């Protein structure tokens, strides 16, 4: 148990907090005693970690399984160019320790799921959500409800952000606002929908702010309100919401992948390597190549396939051949796999082949002249 009284060094470091009328020594002492888990050390998680560490939160947990990618650098501002390929959790933890050595940092280089969530979350007072997918958001919400802890939510899409505080003092939670996830094919993530670099900085900073308010008791917490931010129109609005009457109680954690893609059973998917595809190209094999990326991605680089973007794939059903093999590709092979699952289960296609590793693999293995992004 750490000493709860502030040391001389802490008085100096946090003096601008301590002289704040509503915060004071009492608020700063609460921050020192607080244990906060930040899930995801990406666009949202980074500003959250930076401000919470600087503010003197006693213990910070960082959960992230990912390695830094080149395309993260546009918005995940603590990572340097030389960090590409390194562990986000380790880098973020190092950054926090250097910024404020008084903070105890715990790293979790793992994928959070129903098996480990309650155990990891159970060591903390509140969680801040910096994740980028629906299954993990529902998981965090349900775990927060089961453990009776506040859940600080932030989410972004292109130029828009959402912020709220769920499960605060018995207040409504994520499922009261969004009881069910939308159909998977309608859900682009940052790599498909794009995201403005400054936006996660704004939304993550607001999450850090709400976390500080929850811990210190200063001000009004964004509970029962969804704040939306539209950076293009400078429209900031908050919408009040309450508990849903028809919401069944949460009694245990479930399979969240299944919950978010109920009609997409995990079937075997046939795939082809970039080198094999190259062989197909050079013989007179009959096949169709379709590209399920967005038009702007197609403009950056393409393999000459038919452009049928994932979000609108159902509009192109009659243009997808059924009598010859159809190779489906995207940037990395993930979206194309989702499209294949959808077309197989919903539209009975049985001739689809996934290009493993997408255009990135093609650039690495076949044509190094191609632009990668």
Catalytic positions, please? 190, 330
User: At its nearest, how many Å lie between another protein and the CB of residue 176?
Assistant: 9
The residue from 70, 111, 239, 373 that contacts another protein (CB under 8 A) is: 239
**Beta-ladder partners of 195:** 158
191 vs 354, beta carbon nearer another protein: 191
Close Cβ partners of 261 (under 8 Å, ≥ 6 residues apart): 184, 341
How many binding residues for another protein (CB under 8 A)? 45
Contact letters (x/-) for another protein, 193-212, by CB under 8 A?
Answer: x-x----x------------
The residue from 9, 123, 230, 299 that contacts another protein (CB under 8 A) is: 230
| Element housing 291 (H / E) | strand 288-291
Place of tokens 């309450």: 242
What is the CA 358 to chain-centroid distance, rounded?
A: 21
Nearest to 47 by CA among 70, 68, 78: 78
Contact 129, 39 (CB under 8 A): yes
What phi, psi does 63 have (nearest 5°)?
A: -110, 120
For residue 115, the SS3 value is coil
Contact between 228 and another protein by CB under 8 A: the answer reads yes
Label residue 46 left, alpha or beta by phi (over 0 means left) and psi (-120 to 50 means alpha). Answer: alpha
Subset of residues 35 to 74 that bind another protein, contact rule: CB under 8 A: 40, 42-45
The residue from 185, 210, 291, 337 that contacts another protein (CB under 8 A) is: 185
233 vs 283, beta carbon nearer another protein: 233
Structure tokens at 84: 């590409």
Close Cβ partners of 142 (under 8 Å, ≥ 6 residues apart): 175, 250, 253, 254
What is the DSSP secondary-structure string of 19-49?
TSTTTHHHHHHHHHH-EEEEE--STTHHHHH
The residue from 78, 177, 313, 363 that contacts another protein (CB under 8 A) is: 177
Subset of residues 306 to 325 that bind another protein, contact rule: CB under 8 A: 311
Contact between 234 and another protein by CB under 8 A: the answer reads no
The residue from 143, 144, 214, 226 that contacts another protein (CB under 8 A) is: 226
Contact between 132 and another protein by CB under 8 A: the answer reads yes
Contact between 183 and another protein by CB under 8 A: the answer reads yes
The residue from 236, 242, 299, 347 that contacts another protein (CB under 8 A) is: 242
Subset of residues 143 to 172 that bind another protein, contact rule: CB under 8 A: 154-157, 160, 162
Residues that bind another protein (CB under 8 A): 40, 42-45, 129-134, 137, 154-157, 160, 162, 177-183, 185-190, 193, 195, 200, 226, 228, 230, 233, 237-242, 311
């Amino acid at each position: 148990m750490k000493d709860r009284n502030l040391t001389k060094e802490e008085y100096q470091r946090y003096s601008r907090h301590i002289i704040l009328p509503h915060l004071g020594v009492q608020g700063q002492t609460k921050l020192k005693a607080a244990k906060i888990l930040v899930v995801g050390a990406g666009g949202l998680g980074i500003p959250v970690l930076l401000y919470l560490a600087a503010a003197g939160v006693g213990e910070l947990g960082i959960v992230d399984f990912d390695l830094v990618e080149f395309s993260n650098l546009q918005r995940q501002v603590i990572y340097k160019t030389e960090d590409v390929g390194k562990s986000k959790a380790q880098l973020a933890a190092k950054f926090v320790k250097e910024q404020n050595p008084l903070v105890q940092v715990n790293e979790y280089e793992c994928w959070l799921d129903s098996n480990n969530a309650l155990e990891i979350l159970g060591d903390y007072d509140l969680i801040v959500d910096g994740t980028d997918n629906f299954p993990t958001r529902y998981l965090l919400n349900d775990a927060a409800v089961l453990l009776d802890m506040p859940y600080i939510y932030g989410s972004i899409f292109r130029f828009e952000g959402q912020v709220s505080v769920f499960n605060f003092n018995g207040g409504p939670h994520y499922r009261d606002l969004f009881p069910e996830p939308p159909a998977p094919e309608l859900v682009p993530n940052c790599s498909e929908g794009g995201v403005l670099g400054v936006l996660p900085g704004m939304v993550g900073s607001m999450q850090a702010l709400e976390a500080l308010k929850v811990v210190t008791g200063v001000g009004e917490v964004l509970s029962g309100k969804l704040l939306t931010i539209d950076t293009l129109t400078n429209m900031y609005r908050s919408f009040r919401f309450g508990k849903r009457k028809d919401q069944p109680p949460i009694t245990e954690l479930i399979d969240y992948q299944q919950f978010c893609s109920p009609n997409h059973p995990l079937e075997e998917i046939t795939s082809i390597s970039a080198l094999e595809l190259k062989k197909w190209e050079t013989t007179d094999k009959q096949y169709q190549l379709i590209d399920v990326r967005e038009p702007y991605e197609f403009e950056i680089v393409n393999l000459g396939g038919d452009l049928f973007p994932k979000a609108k794939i159902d509009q192109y059903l009659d243009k997808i051949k059924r009598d010859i093999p159809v190779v489906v590709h995207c940037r990395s092979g993930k979206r194309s796999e989702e499209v294949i699952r959808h077309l197989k289960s919903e539209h009975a296609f049985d001739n689809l082949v996934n290009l493993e590793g997408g255009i990135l693999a093609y650039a690495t293995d076949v044509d190094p002249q191609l632009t990668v992004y």
